Amino acid sequence: MLNIALFGPPGAGKGTQAKKIVEKYNLAHLSTGEMIRKEIAEGSDFGKMAAGIINKGELLSDEFVVALIENSIEHHKNVDGFLFDGFPRTVRQAEILDEMLAKTGHPLSALVSIDVPHDELMRRMLERAKIEGRADDNEEVIENRFREYRAKTLPVADHYKVQKKHFSIRSARWIKIGRYAAIFLLPIIGFAIWFWTLRLMDSQPVISDEVRIAMIRSEKMGKQKATLVLANGQKMDLKSVPAKPLQDSVEQVPVAQPSVPETDVNESEEVSVVENNKLSTYDDSEFWMTFEDGTRVHLNYNTTLKYPPHFGTTTRTVYLDGEAYFQVAKDSKRPFRVITANGVVKQYGTTFNVNTHVPGITKVVLVKGSVSVLPNQGGEYKIKPGELAVLQADTQDVQISVVDIEPYIAWNSGRFVFDNCSLESLMNVISRWYNKDVVFESEDTKKIRFTGDIDRYGSIEPILKAIQRVTHLEMEIQGKTIIIKK
């Protein structure tokens, strides 16, 4: 989604130029000026109050303007983004807009500034006053509006310069080219979109070809399925990867009480005003999903992930029971936290695997980037790529070691990789994935070690044959049961 704010002093012609930009990029035009004039024309209480303030050349309060914008955003659904015209007008409004758009997962793409010389602005405003009969456009009031703009509105540009989202078009010959300003603005908008796209690509996780193939094979095999329970209790069966972020794919229903934290942590927790949704896979299924911020998560079998309908403005927090592979979108202002029964995983943008299938233990393997793990009681431990962190619930210890990460993450790309694994542990995985019971006729065979690489989406018969060749055991399928004997 493309969100642009058109910025400039009174009389710069923002409304005139906005029309072509809106048409070209299919944006909803949100003009605070038009909204306010409509309220004034209708004689509403808000309109009467606004008229008195505007006639003095002063700015309306942030609360009133924000209320207008929020109401308009809610009423525009089928658009590719928004063009904000005349908003934000103060740094506080800019901060509120950032927070508002962060909740949707689509932050402001660019602030495009139209800079016009003061003399030309004054000429335009006085001419407009004659043509349109605007009572507020006399020279004294106009000068006051310019002072208000310099004092309260101009700092908004600096706010977005820090974020590298500010673009400007300047000219000393606006008298001659004013009517053609859109010709100059469209290339600026185009460059802003290109720059925004590059930033987005840099922050968004990329799906490898190997994983894309795994997703296709998983769905064809019928493994791509999960159950989603919304905050209002509505239950949905999902059987394919959603075309858009899962937080945007279903209607979220707010509830009166806040979420109950799943576990206590040593950091301040942002309290949500809605309950968490719950996404669960089965013993023989998996599920890929994308959050509104671009973070991608692959849930392994028998896994539950709880998450809010929308992430907050200071943190992105989810709760995991089972195993999941995370590719987290970069966001330096909002750390991503995975809370498990045994501790917390915290980072800002990276790739890692979390496994809690063994009771009382959380295993975290870092693929790239940097993360830290925090036991429920204790300090923070940072781990590096290629390291495994094991959090022990009973002792609150954290053990960190260098490992071959492939056996821990191969399942994400469609393979089972076992490294000196006991046959009992191996068959436990096979049992769940293929929905089979396993019977060992001899207890000794459970301790046999196995090392190998198995296709996760292959049929069970050749997989069992491969295991038989390595272990020299007999494996027979009888209905839903695999019998293992010497």
The residues annotated with a catalytic role in the active site are: 14, 89, 128, 134, 145
**What sign has the CA pseudo-torsion 123, 129, 130, 135?**
negative
Please classify residue 251 by burial: count the beta carbons closer than 10 Å to its beta carbon, then call 0-12 exposed, 13-18 middle and 19+ buried.
Answer: exposed
Q: What is the distance, to the nearest Å, from the Cα of residue 288 to the centroid of all Cα atoms in its chain?
A: 15
**Taking Cα atoms as reference points, which of 167, 128, 131 lies closest to residue 145?**
128
On the CB side of 447, CA atoms within 13 Å amount to 3
Q: Are 437 and 479 in contact (CB under 8 A)?
A: no
What end-to-end distance do the CA atoms of the chain give, in Å?
61
Query: 3-class DSSP state for residue 91?
Result: helix
| Planar angle of CA 278, 284, 290, nearest 5 degrees | 40
Q: Are 341 and 356 in contact (CB under 8 A)?
A: yes
Cα pseudo-dihedral 22, 23, 24, 28, rounded to 10: 40
Q: How far apart are CA 408 and CA 290, in angstroms?
A: 21
Q: Are 315 and 334 in contact (CB under 8 A)?
A: yes
Residues contacting 103, CB < 8 A, separation 6+ = 310, 311, 312, 313
From residue 291, how far is each of 200, 231, 234, 298 by CA, in Å? 14, 17, 20, 11
φ, ψ (nearest 5 deg) of residue 81: 155, -170
Q: How far apart are CA 164 and CA 139, in angstroms?
A: 35
- Token pair 């495994």 is found at 388
Q: How far apart are CA 39 and CA 134, in angstroms?
A: 15
